Amino acid sequence: MANELEREVARRRTFAIISHPDAGKTTLTEKLLLYGGAIHLAGSVKAKRARRHATSDWMELEKERGISVTSSVLQFTYRDHAVNLLDTPGHQDFSEDTYRTLSAADAAVMLIDAAKGVEPQTKKLFKVCRLRNIPIFTFVNKLDRYGREPLELMNELEQVLGIRSYPMNWPIGMGPEFRGVYDRQARVVHLFSAEGSHGESEVAERSVSIDAPEIREVLTEAELTKLNEDIELLDIGGDAFTREKADSGQLTPMFFGSAMTNFGVRPFLDAFLDLAPAPTSRPTTQGPREPTNPKFAGFVFKIQANMDPAHRDRIAFMRVVSGRYVKGMNAFHSRLGKEVRLAKPSQFMAAERTSIEDAWPGDVIGLFDPGQYRIGDTLAEGATDVAFEGVPRFSPEFFAVVRSRDPLRRKQMEKGLEQLSEEGTVQIFQQPSMGMKDPIVGVVGALQFEVLQYRLEHEYGARIALDRLPFSHARWVVGQNFDPRSFDWEGNRQTVQDRDGLPLVLFRDDWALQHAEEKHPELKFVSEAPMI
Ligand code: GDP
């Protein structure tokens, strides 16, 4: 068993892709699944694309519960690795779930459109990865089109994100002349040819050592000269690659390719699986929990209600941290202080939900939830005193007052709000200092307001009106002598409380926040809820 556990841990890789909409996350995900042998793309790419464009509507997507929006993890096998790709909803449905999912990942792949560089959503997600110091790999996509020069992109990563990069490979050509990548460590040029394929199948590949005489047959004089010059520049002027720097997220290994044509996908996947960490230990109240600890332990990082409207079910997604999970086992639920049975596990293989028998560290399982789980809950086998550090709550950026349109159904509205806040769809704040009963909801993506309205009406029968508020930051207040009653400032800031009664201030804009920070050096305004 111990050996089996070690083996299963060593071969697992659990990661998420972070990107801005349209950078190519769906396409790259498909291609990773293609190379992992999990799907055959003929037909499927088209179907998915049609679906995406036919309806910009999240509700349709919600109904389908297909791979793009709400399934939580895709598992596939590649070169004997069991790979878990956690889905981070990244489109308009950008929500706190997107952030939280990163707490279950051991590494992130930052996908960048070569023409657009670092975009706003990439920046936000990058920051969350930085907080956890997880390794970040960069895949520069769409090299089949003209984009920015690779050196310029490296510079942008440093300027905008503050991270140095190490190109593991280097593109040969760009746009229609994009022919392949040069692997700096192996000193090998990989040339690809699409020949009639539109990316539905693995691309043909030829590899030639840069030191071999044939290199002059496969690359033109101009290509070879440019490549040699670029590489010399990188070797002299660039950072040295070290595992430690990559592991701690200080240096990002960088790759180039085109998810659409599959150019560079295999070299990326190979190198990524070699360099990305196997499941790591996680901090608990009892010190770090090693994945090879034979006792099972895991934490809940996401809850999804009503996946099947006919059954009103809730699924709690748990990341396994240590030991082996066996179907139907019991574990101690530290917040409730009692043993629970981990019922009806499911895992998401490619497009379907399947029932599973066991799971190992790094895996994510969906547990049937009769209402007993909350985000951040710890489940541990035979241990009553282990609790993982909570999953952080992130600071919303859009706010609205919620009013019930039907006073007789206020109770339903409150129940729905409570459940959706447990699920993490919205955060709810009260305004006791204003003597107001109507709660304020905060979300990290504006589309969540529509989700909220729709779900309250369809799942709880409560029609609501939302009055948008002009605030864009929420900060928890830490410090003595904070007086909520005198802190409000018409239109610029307002004091509220979160569901645990902790005080927060909503600020209109950067300026209002800065102003408060300058005037009140004795207080700290923090964007993550203090752990309680
Ligand atoms: P997502 O929003 O990040 O999931 O992006 P998609 O995968 O849906 O891609 C957005 C658009 O970019 C689609 O029209 C894709 O066909 C296109 N796209 C994705 N990857 C590539 C690529 O490597 N090259 C080119 N030219 N287009 C791409």
- Hey, whose CA ends up nearest to atom 17 of ligand 1? 24
pLDDT of 474 = 94
Residues 60, 454 contacting (CB under 8 angstroms): no
Pocket lined around ligand 1, Cβ cut-off 6 Å: 19, 21-27, 141-142, 144-145, 258-260
How many whole angstroms from 106 Cα to the centroid of ligand 1?
A: 25
pLDDT of 193 = 87
pLDDT of 257 = 97
- H or E segment to which residue 333 belongs: strand 330-333
How many whole angstroms from 30 Cα to the centroid of ligand 1?
A: 11
Cα-based distances in Å from 340 to 138, 301, 370, 508: 41, 18, 11, 44
How many whole angstroms from 196 Cα to the centroid of ligand 1?
A: 19
If you search the block for the tokens 């497009």, which residue do you land on? 351
How many whole angstroms from 22 Cα to the centroid of ligand 1?
A: 6
pLDDT of 385 = 85
How many whole angstroms from 32 Cα to the centroid of ligand 1?
A: 14
Q: Quick one: tokens of 396?
A: 């919303």
CA distance linking residue 390 with residue 224, whole number of Å: 52
Cα-based distances in Å from 421 to 87, 97, 502: 20, 12, 16
Cα-based distances in Å from 364 to 3, 80, 151, 356: 21, 18, 37, 11
Mutation probe of ligand 1 site: the residue of 32, 260, 262 with most atoms within 8 A of C-beta: 260
Give the DSSP per-residue string, 215-251.
HHHHS-HHHHHHHHHHHHHHHHHSPPP-HHHHHTTSE
- Residue 66, SS3? coil
In angstroms, what is the C-alpha Rg of the chain? 24
How many whole angstroms from 514 Cα to the centroid of ligand 1?
A: 38
Cα-based distances in Å from 408 to 404, 411, 441: 9, 8, 21
pLDDT of 218 = 92
Q: Which atom of ligand 1 is nearest to the CA of 111?
A: 3
CA distance linking residue 377 with residue 210, whole number of Å: 53
CA distance linking residue 7 with residue 14, whole number of Å: 15
Q: Which atom of ligand 1 is nearest to the CA of 28?
A: 7
- Hey, whose CA ends up nearest to atom 21 of ligand 1? 260
Provide the phi-psi class of 181: left if phi over 0, else alpha when psi is between -120 and 50, else beta.
Answer: beta
pLDDT of 316 = 86
How many whole angstroms from 47 Cα to the centroid of ligand 1?
A: 14
Q: What are phi and psi of 289, to 5 degrees?
A: -100, 115
pLDDT of 356 = 67
pLDDT of 26 = 85
How many whole angstroms from 177 Cα to the centroid of ligand 1?
A: 19
Q: Which atom of ligand 1 is nearest to the CA of 20?
A: 3
- Hey, whose CA ends up nearest to atom 26 of ligand 1? 142
Find how far residue 434's CA is from the centre of its chain: 37
Low-confidence ranges of the chain (pLDDT < 70): 1-2, 38-72, 89-95, 196-198, 306-313, 344-356, 433-436, 530-532
- Hey, whose CA ends up nearest to atom 2 of ligand 1? 22
| Per-residue buried b or exposed e for 327-338, using 16+ beta carbons within 10 Å of the residue's own CB | eebebbbbeeee
pLDDT of 56 = 30
> Taking Cα atoms as reference points, which of 137, 135, 123, 83 lies closest to residue 264?
137
> How many other C-beta atoms are found inside a 10 Å radius of the C-beta of residue 169?
24
Amino acid of residue 135: P
